[in-house]
Structure 1
Amino acid sequence: MPNYEPYRGEPTKSADIAPDYVELETTRWNSVPQEDQESTAYDPAQLIERTSTRSTKNDMETQLPLGQAIKKYPKIAGYCLAMTIPIIGWGYDLLVVGAITGEDSFKADYGKLIDGEMTIPGNWLSLWMGLPPAGAAAGALLGGWLQNRIGRKFSLMIGSIISAMAIACIFFSHLPPEPDTKRVVITVGLTFQGFTVGIIKTTCLTWVSENAPTALRGPAMALFPTFTLIGQLIGAIVVYAVNQMGSKNGYLGAFGSQWILVLGPFTLSCLMPESPAHLIRTNQEERAIRSATRLFGPKMNPYSALEKIRETIEEEKATTASVSYWACFKGSNLRRTMIVILANVIPALFGLELLSNATVFLQSIGMASGPSLLIMIGGIIAGMVANGIGFWLLSRTGRRSMTIVSMGIASLLWGAMGISGFWSGPALAWLAAGLMISVIVVCGLGCWPAGYAIMGETSSLQLRSLTHGIGSVASQAASITLAVLLPMLFSKDKAALGAKTAFVFCGLCIIGVVLAWLWIPEMKGRSMIELDHMFEMRLPTRKFKSFKMETHEVQEASPLAERGA
């Protein structure tokens, strides 16, 4: 490990900076009093003394173009990319488990003879649709708590191990002779699979949002919807292949392939460094130094990075009495938690639940099954491309404007689709398909990746894992609600609204625009300690973008400075 010498208060000249580093920031790492040290040894003047050069330098760092930020932080960029690998498995599970229930060989083993054909009983189908999201909500809550107890690294490992066991339960559920026993076993497996998805997803979101530098945090979080779509694309291809096979081996192959995808998060949990923020918060400083060295060295000084984390955590400790779910709803954290909840339900508001079930919906308004599956695959590819562009846009455009504008356009597209539902004809289904793909593209360029960036920037470091857990519960609750309601709206034997179902999402998008305008501040380019200060000030939403704050203002807010004074 490189031998870094911490800054001890001597003036540093530009010529004295070691050539091994792109930069060497000043740090008071050894001068900050620890819990067992006297605060009199601490000089608050070192906190207040900041030059305009340092402030300008920080501004330049937060506004780095995406390419330069990746070059400056190559290891962190690589780890952030690796943390999206488990999300491929999540997207794959979302599509495969839902689509495989319509496959003939699966219905032959798990179905019941109704009106002369094998069909999955409606009560079991409802359980298979509702229990995995419910399990994911429970997993998110447990995952938020578990991360604060054993860390992000081991939470991901535990989630991966339980996931492998759940896949085994799903895979071998065909062995019992009685159909009801088969259904019970696969129901248990699907529920626990959803549970592990909640743990794994929350852990990955927390790790990336804690460790990505300000210039990379938004784009890094935007990778999550992109890799979700990659998983869904792989799942769509697998489902298409299964439909061609027409035997038990088809759906067993689809279930068994989930073991391959779970190897990714398990291997990652063995190799990844623990989050330095978690280690600092739990007073594991030696491990924090080793972890930061793996993430930042040799181009960056890890002591400087750890000092920024320490400053943020110490300031948050002054305003947060305890690290608990209840603390997320107290004081300024209530506002932050509500913003994270809104960011999590943005996909539900712009219609992702209907878009994910495009095959069933398009068939209900007259499209054949073959073209509807191809439309779904085309929509996934279009969404991947749009989210890829959105990943780049987040480094240049504000999250607030991306969210409001894209959801406004989506409301117009859904409105046009709803109006088309007053007519009938063979072209209606194709028009609906085109408008649905347009919604995917517009939201992929805006509110979908922006929502993930907002999730990663809003909560405090102290409560980040818990806040992500609450946000995931809100997301799953919205998904469950829409999963139950949507079939009742467009099915021919229920409300039979057809394309007029789009009016629901037209209204939800308008609600999303209003809530985003009222609640979501512009946080692009803001460091974690800046955001802590701005939320504590109860700064109005629309003043975040123009608010100016010098570095010394943040430092003077430190509780350590007050003690030392």
Structure 2
Amino acid sequence: MSSCSSTSAPLLQRDSQSLTDTAPWNPDFGTFSTSLDPLLVPPADLVVLRVPTRSPPAGPKHLDRSNDGSSSDQTQSQDNLGFIETCKLYPAAIGWSAFVSLGIIMLAFDPQLLGNLYATPQFRKDFGYLYNGDYIISAPWQMGLSMGNPVGQVVGALVAGYPMEQYGRKLTFSACVLLTTGLICIQVFARSLEVLLVGELLGGLVLGCYAVIAPAYSSEVCPMAIRDILTSYVNLCFVMGQLLANIICAGTSRLDDHWAYSIPFAMQACLPGWWFWCITIIPGLFFIPESPWWLVRKGRLAEAETVLRRLASPKVDIQKNLLAIVETDGLEQKLEMGSTYRDCFKGVNRRRTEISIGVYCTQVLSGVCLISYAIYFFQLAGLPTEDAFSMGIGLLAVGFLGTVLSWPLILRYGRRTIYNTGLLCLIAMQLTIGILDCVPGHPTSVVWAQSYLMLLWNFCYDLSIGPVCFVIIAEASATRVRSKSIALATAAQGALGCIMTVAIPYLINPDQMDMRGKLGFFFAGSGGLCLVWAFLEVPETKGRTYEELDILFEREVKAREFAGYVVSAS
């Protein structure tokens, strides 16, 4: 990082006008440089952005920006690359990002499995009670069992922030994998609701950590051109975990003994658990590259350079990439971004943390928590058990398709437009589901219409706010507090999920409020409030480096105006 007295400075422009401090020059302020070349000076018609000149950040003065033995036409910086070209230059970064995101599959598998078991006749018979000629699991026990995952997200996410910053992403992920393979045994051998509850709570504590590690790691090892796709891949892993649970339960739901639910628990341990972790993930733990951003913050520049070389092809100018990381970290030190949970709510970080928390909580308030209860919901709506499980598989299949189709949309239209448009469509469909449930007699045609609307809703969700959420939480936070900011967003979403976990069984169970599709009215209303907030607060972060985002947030640019600004260095 250049010294504070450098004459070079980042410039923030909108159209032909400059965004600048209008206050008189203060000797406590100086210019800040995003370039190592002290000979560059800003044009006379532009005003430099001034930032406090306290103790200069340590780091990049000793770095060499020159090409490391390669001619300029053989080296590439990540800033101006297209998607296809970036994929060719960074195959290792893509692979390792996808590898770490595999933990999300287990996180999504667990609650989806429980929701399906509530619709499994043999599970209800063995653990429930007779009500109006059919067996059901009482609402209190549904609530208690389902609390394991969201409680785990709250506690596990907050706990994960500390080892991630202290010991790094690699060691934290490795520890979580090993703990998961051990704790899952409690669920496998549970033969009572009490033991199963203990297994859900303990396992959920570790599973919640994956929701923080995956998006943080992906955002820090991938270059800007593919950052949005790899962070949104986290949502695809959620869908894959849910789809896997639905497929397994659909195959065992017809069994008339304890294997109807024992096999799904065993598959949870053997397929995505013991066998999957041991054969696929655990050997890879020895080779995972550490986050170069974390290494830079720890002052381990030589190791960061080595990691960057592992993540990219030889044609990439690693020195430029390392310089960009060091300069961004130095800028955030300069702007006093901090690195603790308290810093997430101080100064400009407060707004950035609010955005991360808001977009994640919107997922719950728009109705995604119903997906775990989808098959049970279909049964209550009047579908036969076999058709309900088939619809459950279709629900997640269209979600998988929606996430994949969201990638070209994200590359083309960015974040803000897709997020707001998608949320508007979700609200309309929830409202329609609620209206259909008011049809007298609740005929079969209405039941099927509601079911197909749920499929369409999930497709739209995974086409828009589902994947885009993970892109935004990875980009909205400052790099120094990213793990803490994502942890807070995950914890807030988990806490809200706990509330819904308590409420939904009472709202939909036939021995309670029996609301069925009328829940659509509630989620249409809460989603509408989220849409108003998102329109006012969610910015467009497409194509921005982390340094540019730091400057835009520091200058308090309005969310609706983010796309209209150009950040440039003189």
1:395 aligned partner: 411
Q: How does 1:44-59 map to 2 (within 5 A)?
A: none
Distance 1:62 1:451 in 2: 23
For the residue of structure 1 that corresponds to 2:289, the secondary structure is: coil
Which of residues 430, 444, 468 is equivalent to 1:414?
430
Q: How does 1:297-446 map to 2 (within 5 A)?
A: 297-320=313-336, 322-423=338-439, 424-446=442-464
Distance 1:492 1:246 in 2: 23
In the alignment, is the contact (CA less than 8 A) between 1:64 and 1:215 conserved in 2? yes
- Residue identity in the other structure for 1:496: D
1:148 aligned partner: 165
Distance 1:109 1:351 in 2: 30
Q: How does 1:390-539 map to 2 (within 5 A)?
A: 390-423=406-439, 424-539=442-557
1:195 aligned partner: 205
In the alignment, is the contact (CA less than 8 A) between 1:139 and 1:198 conserved in 2? yes
- Greater Cα offset, 306-315 or 98-107: 98-107
Percent of residue pairs identical: 25
Is structure 2 residue 257 aligned with structure 1 residue 261? no
Listed one character per residue, the Cα deviations across residues 27-48 of structure 1 (whole Å, up to 9, x for unaligned) are 969xxxxxx999899599x99x
Q: 1:301 to 1:366 in 2, by over 3 A?
A: same
Q: 1:115 to 1:401 in 2, by over 3 A?
A: closer
- 1:233 CA displacement: 1.3
Q: 1:121 to 1:354 in 2, by over 3 A?
A: closer
Listed one character per residue, the Cα deviations across residues 169-203 of structure 1 (whole Å, up to 9, x for unaligned) are 112223xxxxxxx4333222111211111112211
Distance 2:79 2:256 in 1: 54
1:222 aligned partner: 232
Is structure 2 residue 86 aligned with structure 1 residue 76? no
Which of residues 111, 121, 127 is equivalent to 1:94?
111
- 1:104 CA displacement: 4.9
1:556 aligned partner: none
Q: 1:360 to 1:37 in 2, by over 3 A?
A: closer
Q: 1:94 to 1:408 in 2, by over 3 A?
A: same
- 1:486 CA displacement: 2.5
- 1:73 CA displacement: 1.9
2:569 aligned partner: 551
Distance 2:363 2:213 in 1: 20
Distance 1:105 1:433 in 2: 24
Distance 1:364 1:387 in 2: 28
Is structure 2 residue 216 aligned with structure 1 residue 206? yes
1:173 aligned partner: 190
Q: 1:492 to 1:199 in 2, by over 3 A?
A: same
In the alignment, is the contact (CA less than 8 A) between 2:107 and 2:208 conserved in 1? no
For the residue of structure 1 that corresponds to 2:189, the secondary structure is: helix
- Residue identity in the other structure for 2:326: R
Distance 1:272 1:539 in 2: 37
Distance 1:156 1:530 in 2: 29
1:132 aligned partner: 149
Distance 1:330 1:98 in 2: 39
Listed one character per residue, the Cα deviations across residues 483-521 of structure 1 (whole Å, up to 9, x for unaligned) are 222233333333333322211121122112111111001
Which of residues 251, 257, 279 is equivalent to 1:247?
257
Q: 1:284 to 1:474 in 2, by over 3 A?
A: same
- Greater Cα offset, 247-256 or 215-224: 247-256
Q: 1:102 to 1:158 in 2, by over 3 A?
A: same
In the alignment, is the contact (CA less than 8 A) between 2:102 and 2:237 conserved in 1? yes
Listed one character per residue, the Cα deviations across residues 534-561 of structure 1 (whole Å, up to 9, x for unaligned) are 1111111111101011134xxxxxxxxx
For the residue of structure 2 that corresponds to 1:550, the secondary structure is: strand
1:542 aligned partner: 560
For the residue of structure 2 that corresponds to 1:484, the secondary structure is: helix
- Residue identity in the other structure for 2:195: V
- 1:62 CA displacement: 4.7
Distance 2:326 2:60 in 1: 17
- 1:84 CA displacement: 2.4
Q: 1:411 to 1:207 in 2, by over 3 A?
A: same
Aligned-residue Cα RMSD (Å) equals: 3.0
- Residue identity in the other structure for 1:162: L
Distance 2:306 2:268 in 1: 34
Listed one character per residue, the Cα deviations across residues 7-43 of structure 1 (whole Å, up to 9, x for unaligned) are xxxxxxxxxxxxxxxxxxx9969xxxxxx99989959
1:555 aligned partner: none
In the alignment, is the contact (CA less than 8 A) between 1:152 and 1:274 conserved in 2? yes
- Residue identity in the other structure for 1:486: I
- 1:119 CA displacement: 5.8
- 1:118 CA displacement: 7.0
Q: Quick check: which one's helix share is greater? A: 1
Distance 1:250 1:365 in 2: 23
In the alignment, is the contact (CA less than 8 A) between 2:231 and 2:474 conserved in 1? yes
- 1:64 CA displacement: 4.4
2:296 aligned partner: 280
Unaligned runs of 5+ in 1: 1-25, 30-35, 48-52, 175-181, 553-565
- 1:107 CA displacement: 5.2
- Greater Cα offset, 94-103 or 331-340: 94-103
Listed one character per residue, the Cα deviations across residues 425-476 of structure 1 (whole Å, up to 9, x for unaligned) are 1211111111111111222222221111111111011001011100101111
For the residue of structure 1 that corresponds to 2:563, the secondary structure is: coil
Is structure 2 residue 309 aligned with structure 1 residue 293? yes
